[in-house]
Amino acid sequence: MEFILFILLVVLVVGHLRLASRLGAVEEKIAQTRTVDATHVVPPSPPPMPPSNQEDLRPISATPPPGHSFLDWWKEDWLVKVGALLLFLGFTWFVSYAFANNWIGPMGRIALGLLCGAAFMVFGWMRMGTLVRQGSIFLALGTGVVVLTTYAARVAYDFFTPTSAIAIMFFAMLFSAMASVRMRTQWLAWMSALLAYVIPLLAASHEVHELQLFTYLYLVTIGVLWVVFLTDWRRIFLTSMTAILLYSLPFWMSGFVEEGGLLIYGYLFVMLFFLANLTGFLTLQKGRTAEVEILGAIGNTVLLSGWTHVGIGAEWQSLVYIAWAIVFLVGAYVFAVRVRRPLAFFVFGGIGVILIGIATALELDGPALTIAFLLESTIAILLSQRYATGKVFLYAAYATFAVPGLLALESLGRFPSYPHPMDAHAGVVFLTVIALWVIGLRAEQGMERSEQETDQVTWGRVFLALGGVFTFVFL
């Protein structure tokens, strides 16, 4: 009885596909007929337009941009998606029932699953030639069946080795990724990228050597970034970044890296994501936001800090941070001078400043650390006041003064105990006073030149007020 229900479900899905195909052909023929009729209609001559400025002639978009939420995707051919989901559930139930009753041996079960998955993938590929959405659904269904079968064969029967299981699931994913690029199906590309990073977990990655695992992840990341470069689906880049951070997290939490090659792979990932960020800023079109590139740069900084913390000795960490800061600052200089992209300049320049700050904190402490942070923050703020084109980066530069400012409060609290005027804490307070006044006066001069008026207290006046407080206490 259950087998007959499964067959009926397959027949219903196939019948729906045929009906949808015929309906699509009818709609296409009606659209062609309307187009032919429209070509024979002589449009009336438009009335003469009154003279007006060209600035009033703005193009009006006839249709709103399509949505990209999950509900918008589900509403398109939703009946086919429901049918594919029911078919997948029916196949899973039928196979599990056959396994429970021992109808098929272990070898036959694995072969049946792989053949059915391959059949769905081939059918989906052929279907994408005429109906892209329907074909991509069945291609994703076939990929899921292959991955599920390989996982069951690996876990339940120990049929495949971890390497062979990863290879089988990887080639199924690769086929889906190639189809997504060729047919420009973004959700299928995202699913393929996500599946590529989940595959090692399904294949018992704890039995795979760490270097082999990171070699696989590095090759997958190169492929994902290549897809992003070809299609400009930039959000898939964040999927790759998140996956590498999650795979790196257990090594950071343990605080010990057994293989020196893992540190090399960590830095290779940092360089790869850095180059991807550079390419993203270079290809960023006007009018498009850069939140993906900014989040990617932040994630890359976290990745660099994590691997440096666990893989480099304490005596060498500051030098490593300085070296990477030079790399990011050189990238910022290239964007500022050669490419003329101020946004990328401030993003990479800000990361370089953060890395220099980390190196400073590793080498210094006490008043010397406060003075170093004070100089770095003041230079960053003055450069932002001179070159920043947006308020966001200027306010972010102002926020960096919070670190030396809070550290300076400790020196200010020790004012009664200064043994002599040349004490280190007295020097901290004196330099803080100078920095606050310079930053405040520079901000006020910038506002006067731009003739901007505001009712709220400006940043410049805030720094001048703090400078007055420090001066009063110091004197």
Angstrom CA distances, 80 to 17, 22, 23, 85, stand at: 8, 14, 14, 9
What pLDDT is attached to residue 96?
66
The answer to whether 296 touches 304, Cβ cutoff 8 Å, is no
Confidence tier at 28 by pLDDT (50, 70, 90)? low
The answer to whether 437 touches 464, Cβ cutoff 8 Å, is yes
- In single-letter form, the type of residue at position 54 comes to Q
CB atoms within 10 A of CB 412: 17
187: left (phi over 0), alpha (psi -120 to 50) or beta: alpha
**Among 63-77, 197-211, 268-282, 422-436, which range has the highest average pLDDT?**
268-282
Q: Which residue has the higher pLDDT, 101 or 178?
A: 178
What pLDDT is attached to residue 279?
86
- Token pair of 393, please? 């980066």
DSSP state of 438: H
What HEC string does 199-217 produce? HHHHCCHHHCCHHHHHHHH
Residues 6+ apart with CB under 8 A from 394: 384, 385, 388, 459
What pLDDT is attached to residue 144?
87
Rounded Cα–Cα distance for residues 409 and 404 (Å): 9
Confidence tier at 399 by pLDDT (50, 70, 90)? confident
Residue 47 has pLDDT above 60, yes or no: no
**DSSP string computed for 254-279:** HT--S-HHHHHHHHHHHHHHHHHHHH
Q: Which residue has the tokens 């020790």?
A: 414
Rounded Cα–Cα distance for residues 302 and 267 (Å): 12
Q: Which residue has the tokens 């540190």?
A: 263
Residues 6+ apart with CB under 8 A from 157: 106, 110
Residue 219 has pLDDT above 90, yes or no: yes
Q: Quick one: average pLDDT of 114-123?
A: 89
Least confident of 67-81, 263-277, 315-329: 67-81
Query: 322-339, pLDDT tens digit by residue?
Result: 999 998 888 877 776 777
Confidence tier at 469 by pLDDT (50, 70, 90)? confident
Q: pTM value?
A: 0.71
What pLDDT is attached to residue 36?
47
What pLDDT is attached to residue 299?
92
Query: 128-166, pLDDT tens digit by residue?
Result: 888 888 888 888 888 988 988 888 888 877 788 888 888
Rounded Cα–Cα distance for residues 292 and 281 (Å): 10
Query: 68-115, pLDDT tens digit by residue?
Result: 555 665 556 666 667 667 766 776 676 666 666 666 677 887 888 889
Residue 51 has pLDDT above 60, yes or no: no
Rounded Cα–Cα distance for residues 437 and 443 (Å): 10
What pLDDT is attached to residue 60?
38
Confidence tier at 268 by pLDDT (50, 70, 90)? very high
Tell whether the torsion through CA atoms of 253, 256, 262 and 264 is positive or negative: positive
Tell whether the torsion through CA atoms of 41, 44, 45 and 48 is positive or negative: negative
Closest to 182 measured CA to CA, from 267, 124, 100: 124
What pLDDT is attached to residue 221?
95
Q: What share of the chain is helix, strand, coil (3-state, %, to 5)?
A: 80, 0, 20
The answer to whether 92 touches 148, Cβ cutoff 8 Å, is yes
Confidence tier at 470 by pLDDT (50, 70, 90)? confident
What pLDDT is attached to residue 187?
87
The answer to whether 465 touches 472, Cβ cutoff 8 Å, is no
What pLDDT is attached to residue 193?
92
Rounded Cα–Cα distance for residues 233 and 292 (Å): 10
What pLDDT is attached to residue 59?
41
Confidence tier at 301 by pLDDT (50, 70, 90)? very high
Q: Quick one: average pLDDT of 449-454?
A: 44
Residue 412 has pLDDT above 70, yes or no: yes
Rounded Cα–Cα distance for residues 306 and 273 (Å): 15
CB atoms within 10 A of CB 92: 15
Confidence tier at 197 by pLDDT (50, 70, 90)? very high
Confidence tier at 58 by pLDDT (50, 70, 90)? very low
Residues 6+ apart with CB under 8 A from 177: 188, 189, 192, 193, 196, 223, 227
Q: How far from each other are the two terminal CA atoms of the chain, in whole angstroms? A: 95
Angstrom CA distances, 263 to 46, 179, 276, 298, stand at: 70, 34, 20, 19
What pLDDT is attached to residue 99?
62
Q: Which residue has the tokens 């100089």?
A: 375
**DSSP string computed for 86-125:** HHHHHHHHHHHHHHHTT-S-HHHHHHHHHHHHHHHHHHHH
Angstrom CA distances, 331 to 80, 343, 389, 400, stand at: 48, 12, 18, 21
What pLDDT is attached to residue 474?
72
Confidence tier at 6 by pLDDT (50, 70, 90)? very low
**Among 113-122, 286-295, 379-388, which range has the highest average pLDDT?**
113-122
Rounded Cα–Cα distance for residues 141 and 124 (Å): 9
The answer to whether 324 touches 305, Cβ cutoff 8 Å, is no
Rounded Cα–Cα distance for residues 173 and 150 (Å): 13
Closest to 152 measured CA to CA, from 139, 141, 137, 168: 168
Rounded Cα–Cα distance for residues 91 and 113 (Å): 9
What pLDDT is attached to residue 226?
93
Residue 450 has pLDDT above 60, yes or no: no
